[in-house]
Structure 1
Amino acid sequence: MRLVAVTSCPTGIAHTYMAAEALEQAGKAAGHDVVVETQGAAGSTPLDPATVAAADGVIFAADLEVKDKGRFAGKPTVDVGVKKAVHDAAGVIAQAVAAVEADPAPASPAPAAAPATKVEAGASTATRVRQWLMTGISYMIPFVAAGGILIALSFMLAQAAWGRNGAVEVTQVGADTLIHDFSVASGQHWAALLFVVGGAAFGFLVPVLAGFIAYAIADRPGIVPGFVGGAVAVTVGAGFLGGLAAGFLGGFLALWISRWPVPRGVRGIMPVVVIPLLSTLVTGGLMLVVIGRPIAALMDALTSWLGGLSGQSAILLGVILGAMMGFDLGGPVNKVAYVFATTGLATPGLAPDAAQYKIMAAVMAAGMVAPLGMALATQVRKALFSQAERENGKAAWLLGASFISEGAIPFAALDPWRVLASSIVGSAVTGGLVMAFGSTLRAPHGGVWVLPLIGNPLAFAVAVVVGSAVCAGVVIALKSLRREATEASETTDVAAEAGAARA
């Protein structure tokens, strides 16, 4: 059969492409031709209309609403989450084949303006909230990565240009100096340029988060109140938590207003004038005079608490965040820990050794452990792993070094509890060690490729190596116990059969 598929995940990074590869390989193994369109963070290249027209069936392996879904109207369709395609691609292919053979009635085209979040019919409130949050985070992460790395590079260059206090000096160079007196030959000016541009990207972090949470809830009418509410949250100092509140408030207000029964003559101006005007006024006003100040006080308290972390409390926080990074390998728990760390980087006026930078280092180091640990285990005890797992282990070296936790998913798909248990233990060890060593990191992503931006890089590397070794050791021990138990069971069965034969 000829099948087409679309894959997408909330962050648009790893799962999107892993699902595509898994479906293509499973289709090939089953004798079917599968062509996949990936709708990821890097954009997407739409399937050729001729390919869609010739397809027998369609697979949607997506956690976000599929773009231009109407292209596939009339085709037998299977709609699953992206993780289902990663973990059980063969089963998804079988579902699609069964759907084609059943030849159901043609599907109706999807609405032109579908909401950004895909929530299954009858989904629980918790599922809906998670999807709305992940939609906002998926749009926020590129701003975090671009802004954070630019600022980190500016500090590194500033230390070379100004000396030890460069990280302070670079913040004193304003945009006016760059506009009127920029010198190509000045390292100080280049450092300031990186800082200003990175700061501009970081400035969108909270508004983008709020805007796309609201978009996920109310579709396009939610964008304006969400963005404006997020901007007001920044103004009053409510930060990340204020952005969350503004996103939900603006989204639900816009959704509520859009459902008002209005005269036919007014319907045309509702989405253009009435909904954005009223929802933005109410959201911005409430954030400014009612909600924003208490949240800002909470953010100040959180910043003070983080600033006072030291000793065992800091190590314990590193252990907890590390365990979260290893818990579901790019899933919601992993993303909560990551977002907690990255939003801390946006706190103004941080000292070079601030706790927020240590937390970022602990989170990134812990996120590298699971793929590296699996890769190491496949080399140390090859007999415990299949040929496919050993091949995945070769790729996991690079994925782990690049801080892509999803590199361990192929192993977790085949042996979930042993792999995840070892991942949690190894990642927790690394998180605690990084906090104990006091390594810092100003960049929100990059793995070994941003090693020059890491404070105390040798200790950081030691923590990653130790955690990876622990992860590999635990998974080898667990798999060995399972193998011994299986062999003992087989020996007992053989002895019983021999005894029965003699009798």
Structure 2
Amino acid sequence: MAENASKKKQSWWAPAQKHLMTATGYMIPFVVAGGIIFALAVMLSGKPSVPTTGNLGKLASIGSAGLALFIPALGGYIAFSMADRPGLAPGFITAYLATQIHAGFIGGIIGGIMAGFAVKYLKKIKVPNNYRTLTTIFLYPLGGTLIASGIMVYLIGAPIANFMTFLTHFLNSLSGAAKAPLGAVLGAMVGVDMGGPINKVAYTFAQTQVDTLPFLMGGVGAAGATPPIGLGIATLIFKKKFSPEDRDAGIAALLMGTMGITEGAIPFATADPLRVIPANTIGAAVACLSGFMFGCLNHAPWGGLIVLPVVDNRWGYIAAVALGSAVVALIVGFAKKPYVAETPAEEKAEANDDDIDFDIQQF
């Protein structure tokens, strides 16, 4: 019985995770382009507000367009992953409607799932071969949109919107020590797999609520920068613990961290997972928790130091990144053993091992 239950759980979880990860991968470029251009417009204006006129106002509108599209993209590509190209339009439209009725990212995800299922079941309708092309461009998009969007608008949109309002008020009501568990959990999720599925769940949760709960990105954005910056600092302070190649990678990691690219820590985690992954997890948790405690508000759905122009309490945000990075650097620096370069003899032995050839003819 337990084995059957486990198989059943795996049977729905594996495809669900695949669809969500596929959609998140397609959504990220909208977030990156929109968030960075938006932050750049604010930074160039020199004021802690969004420019609305002139060339910078136009630049900000470009960034805002990217940010307005990322929840529809999330829903659209969930449906695409489930039902291929015919699911795209129903998924985009239903998720867009979810944003219009304030159902938020949960509405976008549910809308994408409904559109995907609607198109999948429409595909099971037997249609004569002569009309197959017509189904792809007419029946599936039209039927899928009417079914999924109709359910969203007439049935479940309002309850989801009410739940999102409740969630927003509840999270906004958290203060002081009440925010600590949430910050620690989200930060740990960001640091544990550095851009993987767990990281993306935490990031998506914060990104899709940046308009209503900017404190979430205030912590998560700082946490995302922490692993690569911390590891870069470790290569500078604890030089004897790293190879020359690692020290070069540390400089790249520092730059990637300032840009909010957590994946800059992956080469170090791959080479030494037992020491690096726990350090990243703890450091990112400290950074996110600190961002929450310092009251940092990040108005861009991105992280790193590049978003400073759109952060309220910038010094607190910088302090959160610094604290988390210091934790990563110190844990890795003290835990790692000194680097020992291979001797020429060892290198030669390895080369000989790699070059061993077997001649079948000799047997």
Q: Contact 2:224/2:303 (CA < 8 Å) preserved in 1?
A: no
Equivalent position of 2:311 in the other structure: 454
3-state DSSP of counterpart to 1:200: helix
Q: Contact 1:153/1:453 (CA < 8 Å) preserved in 2?
A: no
**Per the alignment, do residues 400 and 196 of structure 1 end up closer, same or farther by CA in structure 2, a change over 3 Å counting?**
closer
Q: State the distance in 1 between where 2:41 and 2:260 align.
A: 22
Q: State the distance in 1 between where 2:304 and 2:224 align.
A: 9
Q: Contact 2:187/2:286 (CA < 8 Å) preserved in 1?
A: yes
Residue 136 (1) aligns with residue 23 (2):
yes
Structure 2 unaligned residues grouped into runs of 5+:
1-9, 340-363
| Aligned-residue offset at 1:425 | 0.9
2:173 is aligned, of 308, 315, 318, to: 308
Q: State the distance in 2 between where 1:335 and 1:446 align.
A: 13
Q: Contact 2:224/2:304 (CA < 8 Å) preserved in 1?
A: no
Equivalent position of 2:134 in the other structure: 269
Q: State the distance in 1 between where 2:239 and 2:57 align.
A: 50
Q: Contact 2:104/2:209 (CA < 8 Å) preserved in 1?
A: no
1:357 is aligned, of 202, 207, 214, to: 214
Residue 224 (1) aligns with residue 89 (2):
yes
Equivalent position of 2:149 in the other structure: 284
Residue 415 (1) aligns with residue 280 (2):
no
3-state DSSP of counterpart to 2:336: helix
CA RMSD of aligned residues (A): 2.5
Q: State the distance in 2 between where 1:404 and 1:147 align.
A: 15
Give deviations 1:228-259, integer Å, cap 9, x for gaps: 21122122221211110111111121122113
**Per the alignment, do residues 409 and 201 of structure 1 end up closer, same or farther by CA in structure 2, a change over 3 Å counting?**
closer
Residue 385 (1) aligns with residue 230 (2):
no
Higher strand share: 1
Q: State the distance in 1 between where 2:325 and 2:60 align.
A: 34
| Aligned-residue offset at 1:152 | 4.7
Q: State the distance in 2 between where 1:307 and 1:194 align.
A: 30
Residue 240 (1) aligns with residue 105 (2):
yes
3-state DSSP of counterpart to 1:268: helix
3-state DSSP of counterpart to 2:208: helix
| Aligned-residue offset at 1:158 | 7.6
Q: State the distance in 1 between where 2:44 and 2:195 align.
A: 32
What aligned pairs does 1:166-245 form with structure 2 within 5 A after superposition? Answer: 188=53, 192-194=57-59, 196-245=61-110
Equivalent position of 1:331 in the other structure: 196
| Aligned-residue offset at 1:307 | 1.7
Q: State the distance in 2 between where 1:152 and 1:404 align.
A: 16
**Which one has the largest radius of gyration?**
1
Q: Contact 1:326/1:423 (CA < 8 Å) preserved in 2?
A: yes
Structure 1 unaligned residues grouped into runs of 5+:
1-122, 171-186, 348-355, 484-503
Q: State the distance in 2 between where 1:462 and 1:237 align.
A: 34
- Residue type of the alignment partner of 1:138: G
Q: Which moved more, 1:331-340 or 1:252-261?
A: 252-261
Residue 439 (1) aligns with residue 279 (2):
no
3-state DSSP of counterpart to 2:277: helix
Q: Contact 2:225/2:303 (CA < 8 Å) preserved in 1?
A: no
| Aligned-residue offset at 1:382 | 2.7
Q: Contact 2:217/2:303 (CA < 8 Å) preserved in 1?
A: no
Equivalent position of 2:347 in the other structure: none
TM-score for the superposition, normalised by structure 2? 0.83
**Per the alignment, do residues 191 and 233 of structure 1 end up closer, same or farther by CA in structure 2, a change over 3 Å counting?**
same
Equivalent position of 2:350 in the other structure: none
Q: State the distance in 1 between where 2:320 and 2:116 align.
A: 42
- Residue type of the alignment partner of 2:297: T
Q: Contact 2:260/2:306 (CA < 8 Å) preserved in 1?
A: no
Identity %: 41
- Residue type of the alignment partner of 1:460: Y
TM-score for the superposition, normalised by structure 1? 0.61
1:406 is aligned, of 240, 263, 266, to: 263
| Aligned-residue offset at 1:262 | 2.3
Q: Contact 2:94/2:108 (CA < 8 Å) preserved in 1?
A: yes
User: How many residues align structurally?
Assistant: 330
Q: State the distance in 2 between where 1:155 and 1:214 align.
A: 34
Q: Contact 2:222/2:303 (CA < 8 Å) preserved in 1?
A: no
Equivalent position of 2:116 in the other structure: 251
Q: Which moved more, 1:410-419 or 1:199-208?
A: 199-208
- Residue type of the alignment partner of 2:143: L
Q: Contact 1:145/1:443 (CA < 8 Å) preserved in 2?
A: no
- Residue type of the alignment partner of 2:195: G
Give deviations 1:470-498, integer Å, cap 9, x for gaps: 11111233325x99xxxxxxxxxxxxxxx
Q: State the distance in 2 between where 1:201 and 1:399 align.
A: 22
| Aligned-residue offset at 1:323 | 1.1
